[in-house]
Structures are given as structure tokens and as C-alpha cells.
Amino acid sequence: MGHFKKKHILLSILLGILQTGLMLFLLSLFISYQGLFDAFFMQNISVYAGLIFFAMLYSPLDFFIGLLMQLVSRKNETEADRFAVETTNDSQSMIDALKKLSAHNLTNLTPHPFYVFLNYSHPPVLHRIAAISK
């Protein structure tokens, strides 16, 4: 409910559209770019080769875009948790639910911060519980 009230769903849809639009725009520029085919020593332009070359070149950019999207997602999760606690005035139920979910999913309670930065779309459970307890 917090994601809906805080307009996180709309923001995620808009960011996804922008990300897809950027990818398709770059694809339209590079799919038949002669310099790209020259770099891979291909004499003839091929759409299939262009797709493969683009995928190889776009991967690093997509990695950094993904980091940004995960950062936004973690921020949104914190806001949604805060909304839920403020709305219900019952932080203990939220904490209990997070504990049950983490136990059921065998969640790593203390992941390395760099691993969280690279891979997590939600804050670690202990961070969420600490934020809710404040």
C-alpha cells in the first residue's frame, strides 16, 4: 500500500520506460553503424551481428543503470516501510513479519555492504528493522 500511496509504482514504470527508451535509441544508432562492424573486422553489415555487438557494448552501461535502479528501489522500500508503520501505528507487527519472512527465506542477515550495493533491491532485513524501530 505504501508503494501506491507514495507513487513508487508510477515512478518505477516511468524509469523503466526511460531505460527501455534509452536502450532502443542506442540500439538504433549502433545496429548498422559501420565503425562497429569495422572494429570487429566484418565487411558486411548484418542485423544479427549488430545485435550481438550492441549487447556486448550495452552490458556495462546496463550494469550502472541497474545500480541506480536498485538504489532507488531500496529508498522506496524504506519509505514504504515507514508509511506502513506510521499508518498502522504498530511497528512490532512489521518487525515480526520481516523476521518471519527472513527466517522462511533463509535471508542473510548481515550481507556485506558492497554486495548489498551491487545486488539488493531491498535494504537488508536488519537495516529495515533498525529503521522501523526508530
Q: Could you read off the pLDDT of 50-67 as tens digits, one per residue? A: 999 999 999 999 999 999
Q: Tell me the residue range of the domain where 78 lies.
A: 2-133
**How many other CB atoms sit within 10 Å of the CB of residue 84?**
19
The mean pLDDT of 93-102, rounded to a whole number, is 96
Calpha distance 125→129 (Å, rounded)? 6
Q: Could you read off the pLDDT of 19-29 as tens digits, one per residue? A: 999 999 999 99
Q: Count how many domains the chain has.
A: 1
